């Protein structure tokens, strides 16, 4: 074979070359001061699947909050990036998304999921990977102790607190014999278990529980089970078919006699209360986590928040009046992002090595006043149960619009701690 002069490497130079390349690859990719590298947050988004309506608004709210956060200088002077991944509102995919965001994308923390079955299916993985996992769900699963010390819910109140706060008003104003209609999975079971207990404490009684699969599309067949003696029909429903559920409820009663109706706005999130077929809702009451229609005493923070996210005074998108917001839930994304900022700044967060310090810093938080970062209202965070507590609202449908008639105090929704995560290992 022809020997190419000067081009055939000797073994020594080959080994030197390989050592040099290896050490070059081991150096960091860019030589930049650690303090200005962006903070990466993962967002587990329900972009498709049964939670898609919520996912659409969760993404918008998060983008709006992110812009405000970065305009104000980010976290510790570092810009913040949010990486969105679709989990299809599926528990199995949720766990994979957690893995992808934590391992592949190298996110400092993950937040965002809502549907309780997805949260329960994904949180264990976050615990295994030791990544802070801040859920924007409503389930009681965080505060129940079922999950792990890395999982927290600092941005939205839980169902147990909500129904505990609702029971006194319902029994005093609507009636004492209740029939409950709820979706047959974790979130619905929280309603069933804790409202039944709360109303019993008020001297009332749930006379019938009607559980409906969350993927159901036809509801009339369940309605004959509602007993004649029902004084209050309590309904909460989720999924793409909620409009069908409420419409069929109206068709079933028609112009005949009907009990008082108390619903959770979940049954109408992203649905216009003035939709055809919903006229029977006039005069009925709803729990709202955050009032969809801008009330007369709205704070400046509320006004700022609405404008930033792009929601008009009726609770629909500014650019499309038919695109109604999931207003009672989406504030959780905004408030959680600002809780992450507060926690990271309190912990002096530098890198993923400080994740544990971040969780401990959030656990140390107690009173949270209403502010631009917390437009839904003032809150109290329970570091032991990893759950935040806040005000709940009851609204009445008047001329097709939800008008607030009652605000609960934070204490109305409190219940004994079921767990102390601070005693658990990380």
- Which residues are at the interface with another protein (CB under 8 A)? 47-49, 52-53, 55-56, 213, 216-218, 220-221, 223-224, 226, 228, 240-241, 243-244, 248, 251-256, 270, 275-277
Closer to another protein at the Cβ: 61 or 382?
61
Q: Classify each residue of 227-245 as buried b or exposed e, where b means 16 or more C-beta atoms within 10 Å of its C-beta.
A: eeebbbbbbbbbbebbbbb
Q: Return the number of the residue (53 or 232) whose C-beta is nearest another protein.
A: 53
Please tell me the distance from the alpha carbon of residue 45 to that of residue 43, in angstroms, as a whole number.
6
Residues paired with residue 109 on neighbouring β-strands, in sequence order: 41
- Is the Cβ of residue 105 or residue 223 nearer to another protein in the bound state? 223
Give the residue from 288, 363, 309, 328 showing the smallest Cα distance to 134. Answer: 363
State the number of CA atoms in the 13 A half-sphere of 389 facing the CB.
Answer: 24
The DSSP line for 4-71 is PTTTSPPHHHHHHHHHHHHHHHHS-SS---GGGSPEEEEEEE--SSTTHHHHHHHHHHHHHHHHHHHH
Residue among 74 and 113 whose Cβ is closer to another protein: 113
Contacts of 11 (CB under 8 A, 6+ apart): none
Integer CA distances (angstroms), 335 to 120, 178, 342, 376, 397, in order: 21, 34, 10, 8, 27
- Calpha distance 129→15 (Å, rounded): 37
Tell me the closest approach of the beta carbon of residue 345 to another protein, in angstroms: 36
Tell the smallest beta-carbon distance from residue 63 to another protein (Å).
18
Which residue number, 76 or 275, has a Cβ lying nearer to another protein? Answer: 275
Smallest separation (angstroms) from another protein to the CB of 207: 14
Cβ closest to another protein, residue 169 vs residue 327? 327
Give 56 or 391: the residue with its C-beta nearer to another protein: 56
Contacts of 149 (CB under 8 A, 6+ apart): 127, 359, 386, 421, 422, 424, 425, 426
Closest approach, Cβ 260 to another protein, in A, equals 18
- Shortest Å, Cβ 269 to another protein: 12
* Radius of gyration from C-alpha coordinates of the chain: 25
Please, what is the minimum distance in Å from the beta carbon of residue 115 to another protein?
14
Q: How far apart are CA 272 and CA 268, in angstroms?
A: 7
Joined together, the tokens standing for residue 53 give 């309506």
Closest approach of another protein to the CB of residue 235, in Å: 17
Between 55 and 91, CB nearer to another protein: 55
Q: How far is the CB of 49 from another protein (least distance, A)?
A: 7
């Amino acid at each position: 074979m022809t020997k190419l002069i000067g081009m055939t490497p000797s073994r020594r130079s080959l080994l030197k070359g390989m050592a040099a390349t290896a050490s070059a690859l081991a150096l960091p990719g860019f030589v930049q001061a650690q303090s200005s590298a962006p903070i990466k947050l993962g967002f587990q988004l329900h972009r498709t699947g049964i939670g898609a309506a919520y996912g659409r608004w969760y993404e918008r709210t998060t983008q709006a909050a992110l812009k405000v956060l970065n305009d104000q200088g980010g976290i510790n002077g570092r810009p913040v990036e949010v990486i969105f991944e679709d989990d299809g509102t599926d528990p199995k995919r949720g766990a994979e998304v957690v893995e992808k965001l934590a391992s592949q994308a190298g996110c400092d923390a993950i937040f965002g999921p809502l549907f309780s079955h997805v949260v329960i299916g994904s949180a264990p993985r976050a615990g295994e990977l030791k990544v802070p996992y801040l859920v924007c769900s409503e389930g009681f699963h965080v505060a129940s102790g079922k999950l792990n010390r890395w999982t927290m819910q600092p941005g939205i109140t839980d169902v147990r607190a909500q129904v505990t706060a609702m029971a006194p008003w319902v029994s005093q104003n609507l009636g004492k014999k209740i029939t409950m209609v709820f979706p047959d999975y974790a979130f619905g079971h929280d309603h069933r278990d804790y409202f039944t207990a709360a109303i019993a404490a008020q001297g009332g009684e749930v006379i019938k529980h009607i559980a409906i699969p969350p993927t159901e599309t036809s509801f009339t067949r369940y309605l004959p089970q509602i007993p004649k003696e029902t004084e209050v029909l309590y309904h909460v429903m989720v999924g793409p078919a909620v409009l069908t559920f409420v419409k069929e409820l109206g068709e079933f009663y028609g112009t005949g006699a009907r009990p008082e109706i108390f619903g959770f706005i979940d049954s109408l999130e992203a649905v216009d209360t003035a939709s055809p077929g919903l006229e029977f809702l006039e005069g009925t009451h709803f729990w709202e986590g955050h009032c969809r229609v801008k009330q007369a005493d709205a704070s400046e923070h509320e006004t700022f928040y609405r404008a930033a996210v792009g929601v008009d005074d009726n609770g629909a998108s500014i650019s499309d009046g038919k695109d109604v917001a999931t207003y009672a839930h989406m504030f959780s994304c905004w408030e959680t992002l600002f809780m992450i900022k507060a926690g990271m700044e309190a912990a002096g967060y530098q890198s993923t090595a400080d994740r544990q310090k971040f969780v401990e810093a959030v656990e140390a938080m107690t009173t949270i006043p209403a502010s631009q970062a917390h437009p839904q209202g003032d809150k109290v965070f329970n570091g032991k149960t990893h759950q935040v507590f806040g005000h709940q609202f009851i609204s009445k449908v008047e001329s097709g619009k939800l008008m607030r008639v009652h605000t609960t105090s934070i204490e109305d929704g409190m219940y004994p701690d079921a767990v102390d995560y601070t005693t658990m290992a990380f």
